[in-house]
Amino acid sequence: MSTATPLTLSPAPSQCSLEDFVAHYGDVYEHSPWVAEAAWHQGLRPKHDNPDALAELMGLMLRQATPEQQIAVIRAHPDLA
C-alpha cells in the first residue's frame, strides 16, 4: 500500500485565471500557448492540479485540434520540425 502524497502543481491550475494559467503552463507544448488556452476554456477542476491529469487534458486538446494546428505544433518544436 502506497502512502505517497500525489504531486500537486503550483500554482494550482484550477485556481488560475486564463492569463496566469497560460503564463505558467503555456509552454508545455513549445511555442503553442493555444493548447493551454483550450485546456483552460475546457474547464480546469481540482483534479487537474495533478501533473498527470493536466497532461491528459492538454493532450486531449491537441488531439481534438485541427490537422493544421497539430502540424503547427510539430513545426514549432525545433527537434521535430
Query: With the C-alpha atoms ordered 13, 23, 66, 71, is the resulting torsion angle positive or negative?
Result: negative
Based on the residue annotation, tell me whether 77 is a catalytic residue of this protein: yes
d(CA 6, CA 29): 23
Q: Give the whole-angstrom CA distance, residue 75 versus residue 69.
A: 10
Q: Among 24, 31, 48, 77, which one carries the catalytic annotation?
A: 77
The answer to whether residue 23 scores a pLDDT higher than 90 is yes
Q: Region of 26 please: left (phi>0), alpha (psi -120 to 50) or beta.
A: alpha
CA distance 26 to 17: 13
Structure confidence at residue 77 (pLDDT): 80
pLDDT of residue 79: 76
What is the residue extent of each domain of the chain? 13-76
pTM of the model: 0.86
